[in-house]
Amino acid sequence: MQLQNYIGGKWQNYTGEFAAVLNPATGEELAQVPLSTNEEVESAVSAAKKAQKEWALVPAPKRADYLYEVARIMKEKKEHLAQVLTKEMGKVIEEGRGEVQEGIDMAYYMAGEGRRLFGETTPSELANKFAMSVRAPIGVVGLITPWNFPVAIATWKSFPAIVAGNTFLWKPATETPMMAYEMAKVFEEAGLPPGVANIVFGSGSTVGTAMIEHPDVKVISFTGSTETGKSVAELGGRHLKKVSLEMGGKNAVIVMDDADLDLAVEGILWSAFGTAGQRCTACSRVIVHKDVKKELEQKLLTAMEGLTIGNGLDESVKIGPVINEKAMEKIASYIEVGKSEGATLLAGGTSLTDGELANGQYFAPTLFSDVKWDSRLAQEEIFGPVVSLIEVNSLEEAIEVNNSVKYGLSSSIFSRDVNKVFRAVRDLDTGIVYVNAGTTGAEIHLPFGGTKGTGNGHRDSGVAALDVYTEWKSVYIDYSGKLQRAQIDTE
């Protein structure tokens, strides 16, 4: 099947270059994705621009009605969408369903915003004058999304964008275009006016660059690697774009000596090996108090034996493949880094190729211990099922080690001591903090994003997402019948 761009409410007939989309669990070709050119970006931006003026005039609660319809259709198609997602991305079907649910939740949540989109009224310093600030749409927005959450992340960006009166152009990752294609069908079925939602498939270097450089694209929202995010920010800066970035993480679970260790093990397993470790929120460090280190190690090793690895479509499988060969190579290279840095490899560390796994991209869940906090293994994002145990002597040291990385997305602490917990919540330098839970599992009605190298101050999802897609407009209405000069006629 050859996918097609969705522009101005129409399926294009693109005849240029295509790339193959592979199922990471089996290696089979699922579809072909267009590698679009500037021309397709140009026509999508022009369709989006044309539609935006009218879309902005549709009352926000009516714009929201389309999102309720989107939610309803996604709910109806949930199983189908989850199956497609698992096939193209590899995550296990249970997580595929969870991700689609995240999109449904986001649709309902942002549809609700259509009846709020609160502005503010503020007293004027002058008599008989009314002052308010309202959220105004910005125009055409460009969305660049990654392969690890092919649908959820796109909904965090596109739904607030449209409820606020913008139109969008979405470039999904070339590894996972099928979910974008499915979402285009959902938008079509929901009756979204032509040009409000546009999807252009292709590479970051061509389509992404053209979007960022286009004068009619006013906002760029990007989720992906820190490396690519920096280039997006640089290019966006040169064109004075508002750029919202969500990038890498090197998230840690802190396990204190008073923690419920069995619960900590469950939290670590789920957040380190779920999605085969390919979440920007994935736990890739465990910072453990020295008094419970040995016991935690043993419990983790025992629990890891129960992890089943295979094709995510199989309901009994807990861990699916990683996305592609390049990812396998990167993960394998970090195993070598860990060994050369003197870390102790306790489990995993190899690719899995036996029997049915032979054609897929499978990497064994891996546990390193005795990892030095400042080693590359402990500092760099691996994006695979690899966890590093780092021993500490106190809560203060744990927090310091947590904060020593250049990223600041998610963190977690397992402790039964309320004093330690509150101190950690205050001092952990991350955008998301969990207590007695792993580092993953963000809910869509809270802001999602991080500090330091993870972001640039913006947030996806939650009410904070509206700040990315709206401009504050301050309005002063003078009903005194005379000219009143601010700062001067106030005596």
The residue ranges that bind ligand UN1 (CB under 6 A) are 102, 148-149, 279-281, 440-442
Angle, helices 78-89 vs 93-113, to 10°: value is 120
Residue placing its CB nearer to ligand UN1 in the complex, 254 or 276: 276
Q: Is 246 a catalytic residue?
A: yes
Neighbours of 392 (CB within 10 A): 21
CB of 407 to ligand UN1, least distance (A): 12
DSSP 181-207: HHHHHHHHHTTPPTTSEEE----IIII
Least distance CB 94 / ligand UN1 (angstroms): 14
Q: Which of 88, 99, 246, 297 is catalytic?
A: 246
* Calpha distance 112→92 (Å, rounded): 31
Least separation in angstroms between CB 107 and ligand UN1: 15
Q: Which is nearer to ligand UN1, 14 or 149 (CB)?
A: 149
The answer to whether 239 and 264 have CB atoms below 8 angstroms apart is no
Alpha carbon distance 140, 220 (integer Å): 9
Q: Which is nearer to ligand UN1, 87 or 279 (CB)?
A: 279
Q: 70-78: long-range contacts (C-beta < 8 A, 24 or more apart)? A: 70/107, 70/159, 70/186, 70/187, 70/190, 70/192, 71/104, 71/107, 71/108, 71/111, 73/186, 73/189, 73/190, 74/100, 74/103, 74/104, 74/107, 74/186, 75/104, 77/182, 77/186, 78/104
Residue number with CB closer to ligand UN1 (63 or 157):
157
User: What whole-number distance in Å separates Cα of residue 125 and Cα of residue 137?
Assistant: 28
Residue (136 or 435) nearer to ligand UN1, CB: 435
Rg of the chain, C-alpha, whole Å: 24
Q: How near is the Cβ of 141 to ligand UN1 at its closest, in Å?
A: 19
Q: CB of 100: closest distance to ligand UN1 in angstroms?
A: 12
H-only helix segments in 190-341? 209-213, 226-238, 261-273, 293-305, 325-340
Report whether 389 contacts 371 (CB < 8 A).
Answer: yes
Closest to ligand UN1 by CB, 281 vs 351, is: 281
* Residue 151: CB minimum distance to ligand UN1, A: 11
- Residues noted as catalytic: 246
